[in-house]
Structure 1
Amino acid sequence: MAKDPLLTVLKLAQEAEEQAALKLKAAQLEHQRRNAQLQALNGYRLDYMKQLSDKQGQQIRAEAYQQFHRFIQQIDSAIKQQNAVVHDAEQQKLHRQKYWLEKQQKRKAVELLLAKKAAAAEAKQLKQEQKMTDEFASQQFYCRKRNTNDLNEY
């Protein structure tokens, strides 16, 4: 029997889904990595603010205070940029997830078609078997009836 073309379509759909899953996993890891960098920047800023708070009440040179303030501004700028990077990574992850779900849905649709096709073939085979059984039973019935009629004539 020839190979069903739907099996080829299923194989291609499975491969596409696997590729989409790999890309989704990479996007998830990238999002986690970028988010960890953001958390590190936030932690770094918090540590520096704590240092300033610890020095409160102590005499700080104006130049050191300005330097500290500029440094905090740089960290704030880096945090802002990193927030944008994390947002982009989140959008990429969501896009990849949507794509993976589409590929998964396509694979499931092909599997459903194959299952329906197999069920229809099985039903057809059962119907043919039932028809053959009925035919055989009919033939036996007529043969017995004929044999009984033949015996009654003698």
Structure 2
Amino acid sequence: MTTASPLHTLIELTREARDKAGQLLASERRSETQLTTQLQTLNHYRLEYAGRLQQLLSTGIDPATLHNYQQFLGSLDASITRARQAIDQQQQRVSAGQQHWQQQQQRLSSYSTLTQRRTAALQRQTQRQELRQSDELTTNALARQGVNGLHEHETQER
């Protein structure tokens, strides 16, 4: 059973690594969701301010206000671009985190399979030993009966 102990330790370490990878993956997914929400908010603001600018243009607007709106929309556009880039990067981190988690899960499954095979082999070995012992007991019992029967037969012949 000494070979199972290091394997058990390895399984526990791998399980911990898989769990940590899962926690990191969940965190990366939450970050992705937050970034997506921020992008939606920025898009909403952009649409809202573009709509206001359209209303002002139809009713008349002074050049300074027009310039301010254009600059603000430009900064919103830049923020939207940065948000999209951040989401792309975050999606790459999520994908890497998912691959890492899957690798850890696969390692854990491999170690579990190895443990199951070792356990089955030990059970087969134990069964063979028990069968050999049972056969030996039966053989010895039959041999004793044969010797006792031979002695009885010799005693009767005398």
The answer to whether the superposition gives a TM-score over 0.5 is yes
The answer on 1:64 being equivalent to 2:65 is yes
- Unaligned residue ranges in structure 2 (runs of 5+): none
- In structure 1, C-alpha distance between the alignment counterparts of 2:153 and 2:103, rounded to whole Å: 74
SS at match of 1:4: helix
2:145 maps to a residue whose letter is: R
Shift of 1:122: 0.8
Letter in 1 for 2:95: L
* 1:64 CA displacement: 2.1
For 1:135 and 1:78, the matched residues in 2 are separated by 84
* Correspondences of 1:75-114 after superposition (within 5 Å): 75-114=76-115
- Corresponding residue for 1:140? 141
**Alpha-carbon deviation of 1:87?**
0.7
Q: How far is 1:56 from its partner?
A: 5.6
Aligned-CA RMSD value: 1.8
Residue 123 of structure 2: aligned partner? 122
Q: Distance in 2 between matches of 1:56 and 1:67?
A: 13
- Structure 1 Cα separation of the partners of residues 134 and 78 of structure 2: 83
Aligned residues: 154
Deviations 1:113-149 (A, max 9, x none): 1111111111100110011111111222222233333
Amino acid at match of 1:63: A
Structure 1: which 5+ runs fail to align?
Answer: none
SS of 1:60's partner is: coil
Q: Tell me which moved more, 113-122 or 42-51.
A: 42-51
TM-score relative to the length of structure 2: 0.87
Using the alignment, how far apart are the partners of 2:138 and 2:5 within structure 1? 35
TM-score, normalization by structure 1? 0.89
Aligned mates of 2:51, 2:135 — CA distance in 1 = 91
